[in-house]
Structure 1
């Protein structure tokens, strides 16, 4: 964009060049302007079309420039700006003829800005015409890089406009690079993605290198030490090549692709690294020629590989093709300019920069697609991690439950089995021994029954069949089935003799049996267990509340927050036979019947545990 717009602007407003010619006679470093300007050497000049390119050459090059005198301005002066590009030429000297000889104006990357004929980022000369007659100037160019020259001539007003226009376009170009970097940094995926990190590095390298090739580095940062700016430009050739190749290696995922293609790109990458010191050793001209050809080769292979990926239907292959093809076209044109096969037009030279900008746009598309893919991959990975964690947590819970179950069985069955073994080993067992053995069998049977019920609850196969029942009858049946029914003291509050309760008869008897049996087993010294029954409201529904309380013996108070957990048993509860499943079963059955059960513990004045059960009245009333 910069090259095209700047070139269009230049074509519209620049001052016409009457003649530009190059000296083709023998030239050495000792050749003087007097020899070149000798009328006898006139036939040694060949005409040019405003541009000149001799490829990578360290020898001096002489040019002849003829300009018509411009119109006089309001002050009567006739002034023109002669601008030479690129700004990184080593030396560009302009000779202006006078009656006494030639005035020498020195410019180039070896000349500090303060000593230049005109303090511009380009190699500019401000020349005056004494009258309205044309003038012929001579230019001597010598550079350690590619010897190409793009000459433009401007009247002062047009020069000022063109300078502002170029700076504006440069600002847009650099702004696009910064915008690309901000966009990549914003998504934060560059922290984990090597492709995006390399892309960020490439943007930084492009930014610095463009500052150098546009002349802003010497103008802004090293005005008195322009040699530093030239080093940045020269070494930037290799750094840009290395980072671009590295970027393409990651973009193509070449480490998982064909090894010959990877080897070629690695060769170009390491060549750029090896050639990096060339400007310091005075070998930049030779190294740059090799680097230009290797870079073009890599981009050509990348373009071919992109086409193959498009045929295969790989995601992002079109963006990869653009990222290779656009800079390839620019690199080919720029290479032909640098090697001297095309005219030294700065617009043509800048096509590589334009190509890289197109490549950056393609990479933005590629990175956007890659970010979407990475986000999906990260989301899938997070889901898998969560599933794995949930599975592991479930397996740990199952393993803990199995361990608790085995510990409970081992502990609770040991005593009954010991009693049964004692009975079997006795030749003449006493009645009490017989009773202990029978009780042991009953305890084992109860433990097995509760384990079976708990298993059905966990598997969700325990069915609820609610039906109306007389609350008084259910309590009488349950209490009369207890071996220690005399310990239970029932208190009725209100007239509930004919009241019906909505519950599953089997589950309800199991709940009441477990609560009463639990209260009797853990009561202090066979003390009474209190049961209070009364009508009650719960969450706006009519029902009945059954409160079962007992004073705790040596087993200690349970934790009311954990008492309904599976396999939970209070401190010192091991003195009493049990599975730790009874209250777990109670809690689940009550919830299935639409009721509620809570545990309350009182430490003073007597250690007391109360279970409060609420069940709804029948809806048929």
Structure 2
């Protein structure tokens, strides 16, 4: 199996993951004189009857040591008593406790042999504390090491991650913590906005569920980290305190439906996977009922065990994708495993298996962030593939429309050609019919018959050449003496008296195909003779210019001149040309042959105001023989 490919976004996720984990530790150790981490000892009062006097008189052996990172008692209805000691202090200090969703936290601090009772941080008067999502208690200065107690009672998990600060250290900690949280929130909001802007979610169910997954991740963080509680009015805070449980259920539901769409459980071969996914979603919905009836504490530890099993099963499906050679299998496996590890750390801490609040606070954040970024790379790949398919479909559709339009035009042109051809052949056929019906054929009649046969032959010849030039004709490049070739074609044209031709004194050799060059020159001369007035001359001359030999044929036309832009198109005939027989193929054949011989031909129209006519100039340029 090949190693995982290093995606740029994956590198960003790893960096941000380390940033999220290391920064809180840097916060705690930034300045040793400004911070102190209390070491908790805990006692679980399952009877819910003990008061502070009874707990304070318990033997030391009744308390168990909690990890330095914090205390997590899991989901239960017992009262959690935490005992910790603080060294002497010369000034007031602040005890900062996270998470803030713990319902009832009471601090008992020593006061002349008794205890001073403070409920849920109500003594904090630090200005920045108004923007803190944690529970903050103000501790009075003590002259010697003193013992403090925390009483925790909650409908959520019994969790405490605490730090003692001086006022300056507290300000720094809040700003640093807000910066990390703000970065995480900003990243998720950016991902949501960017993915919504793609518009792919309108047609792609998997993309919609991915956006829902990111939104649910954001909502869990906002509720668990205390942001929603911070901005809520006082009358709404009791209701907002239930949001961590509710958003956690919504998050896990979004994970389930996203995985269902991502792995294609709705396909026929994955129906058993679909039923497993639906059973897990039903278990999530039961959590909503448990929250309503007050049984969430009993429900959630059981449900988190099911979630771990479910995510292990999803990881096995992703691993199977890797073994079957799926192009995105490794990225999917990596994202699923990262998300699983984040939820696993949360599950272990919530169930009290791992007694460390740092796992609860940061395992979900780090795992979710890393998995979202990897999933984003997968969705981006799918988006690019979908756009490529969409673009290919549009191009194919456009190509089909172009072909259909071209076919339609070809049919119209062929219909026009057949109509025009039948019209052009009717005239010489009528002449022949009238001539052969006469008992005596005079010399004049014979001349008309010969001309009619010549016209028909010319039309038929051009139709025969057309079939060849529409495909690639066979050409052979050879040295051709152009002056002699033009002279021969002028003689064969039979219009010597109308053709002004002054051949150069020396031979001019070009590199071309003799047979096809004859066809080109013959068509140019024939076209000039046919469409110019009967008593006007046409001009043929040859010039050398910059390594080319150019043949220029000029003739006058009466009435509306041809359009130089369309004069070489198949079946094109100017309005003034319909007086003569023709099929609109001569110059089209010329243009095709010229292109296949590697030459070029241009047409320009020159106005002649005095003669009240126009001059058509055809310029054929051939490469000189090297």
TM-score for the superposition, normalised by structure 2: 0.77
Equivalent residues in 2 for 1:457-468 (5 A)? 457-461=469-473, 463=475, 466-468=479-481
1:265 matches 2:272 = no
Range with greater deviation from structure 2 (87-96 or 197-206): 197-206
1:567 matches 2:581 = no
1:149 corresponds, among 144, 147, 159, to 159
Equivalent residues in 2 for 1:38-117 (5 A)? 46-49=63-66, 53=72, 55-57=74-76, 59=77, 61-63=79-81, 65-67=83-85, 70-73=87-90, 77=91, 79=92, 81-96=94-109, 103-107=116-120
Partners of 1:223 and 1:412 in 2: CA distance: 97
Range with greater deviation from structure 2 (247-256 or 182-191): 182-191
Tell me: CA distance 1:45–1:499, structure 2 relative to 1, closer, same or farther (3 Å): closer
1:528 matches 2:535 = yes
Tell me: CA distance 1:286–1:610, structure 2 relative to 1, closer, same or farther (3 Å): farther
1:210 corresponds, among 221, 226, 231, to 221
1:610 corresponds, among 588, 604, 615, to 615
CA offsets per residue over residues 372-418 of structure 1, 9 Å max, x none? 65576567657656765665565456445544443333433345556
TM-score for the superposition, normalised by structure 1: 0.77
2:603 corresponds, among 592, 598, 617, to 598
Tell me: CA distance 1:294–1:409, structure 2 relative to 1, closer, same or farther (3 Å): farther
What number of residue pairs does the alignment pair up? 594
Shift of 1:198: 4.2
Contact (CA 8 Å) 2:479, 2:625: kept in 1 or not? no
Tell me: CA distance 1:23–1:514, structure 2 relative to 1, closer, same or farther (3 Å): closer
CA offsets per residue over residues 505-533 of structure 1, 9 Å max, x none? 65555445434444444445xx3131334
Contact (CA 8 Å) 1:500, 1:618: kept in 2 or not? no
Range with greater deviation from structure 2 (339-348 or 428-437): 428-437
1:23 matches 2:45 = yes
Shift of 1:450: 0.3
Contact (CA 8 Å) 1:238, 1:291: kept in 2 or not? no
Partners of 1:566 and 1:610 in 2: CA distance: 22
CA offsets per residue over residues 84-112 of structure 1, 9 Å max, x none? 4321112222344657975432228xx89
Partners of 2:352 and 2:587 in 1: CA distance: 95
Stretches of structure 2 that go unaligned for 5 or more consecutive residues are 1-17
Shift of 1:598: 2.4
Shift of 1:620: 8.2
Contact (CA 8 Å) 2:40, 2:84: kept in 1 or not? yes
Equivalent residues in 2 for 1:378-457 (5 A)? 388=400, 391-392=403-404, 395-396=407-408, 398-416=410-428, 439-457=451-469
2:13 equivalent in structure 1? none
Contact (CA 8 Å) 1:22, 1:47: kept in 2 or not? no
Equivalent residues in 2 for 1:35-434 (5 A)? 36-37=54-55, 46-49=63-66, 53=72, 55-57=74-76, 59=77, 61-63=79-81, 65-67=83-85, 70-73=87-90, 77=91, 79=92, 81-96=94-109, 103-107=116-120, 120-128=132-140, 131-132=143-144, 134-137=146-149, 139=151, 141-146=152-157, 148-150=158-160, 152=162, 154-156=164-166, 162-174=173-185, 177=188, 195=206, 198-220=209-231, 222=233, 225-227=236-238, 229-256=240-267, 258-269=270-281, 272=284, 284-285=296-297, 288=300, 292-343=304-355, 345-348=357-360, 350-367=362-379, 369-370=381-382, 373=385, 388=400, 391-392=403-404, 395-396=407-408, 398-416=410-428
Partners of 1:358 and 1:413 in 2: CA distance: 81
Contact (CA 8 Å) 1:112, 1:226: kept in 2 or not? no
Tell me: CA distance 1:453–1:112, structure 2 relative to 1, closer, same or farther (3 Å): farther
Tell me: CA distance 1:203–1:34, structure 2 relative to 1, closer, same or farther (3 Å): closer
1:583 equivalent in structure 2? 587
Shift of 1:263: 3.0
SS in 2 for 1:529: coil
Q: CA RMSD in A?
A: 4.6
Tell me: CA distance 1:547–1:211, structure 2 relative to 1, closer, same or farther (3 Å): same
Partners of 1:414 and 1:89 in 2: CA distance: 103
Contact (CA 8 Å) 1:23, 1:62: kept in 2 or not? yes
Partners of 1:441 and 1:384 in 2: CA distance: 49
Range with greater deviation from structure 2 (345-354 or 317-326): 345-354
Contact (CA 8 Å) 2:528, 2:553: kept in 1 or not? no
Range with greater deviation from structure 2 (234-243 or 303-312): 234-243
Tell me: CA distance 1:593–1:16, structure 2 relative to 1, closer, same or farther (3 Å): closer
SS in 2 for 1:528: coil
Shift of 1:303: 0.5
Stretches of structure 1 that go unaligned for 5 or more consecutive residues are none
Equivalent residues in 2 for 1:437-516 (5 A)? 439-461=451-473, 463=475, 466-468=479-481, 470=483, 474-475=486-487, 478-479=490-491, 481-482=493-494, 485=495, 488-491=497-500, 496=504, 502=510, 506-507=515-516, 510-516=519-525
SS in 2 for 1:105: strand
Tell me: CA distance 1:22–1:129, structure 2 relative to 1, closer, same or farther (3 Å): farther
Range with greater deviation from structure 2 (304-313 or 329-338): 329-338
Contact (CA 8 Å) 2:264, 2:270: kept in 1 or not? no
Partners of 2:114 and 2:97 in 1: CA distance: 23
Shift of 1:324: 1.8
Tell me: CA distance 1:606–1:319, structure 2 relative to 1, closer, same or farther (3 Å): same
CA offsets per residue over residues 407-438 of structure 1, 9 Å max, x none? 333433345556667778x6968768887666
SS in 2 for 1:560: coil
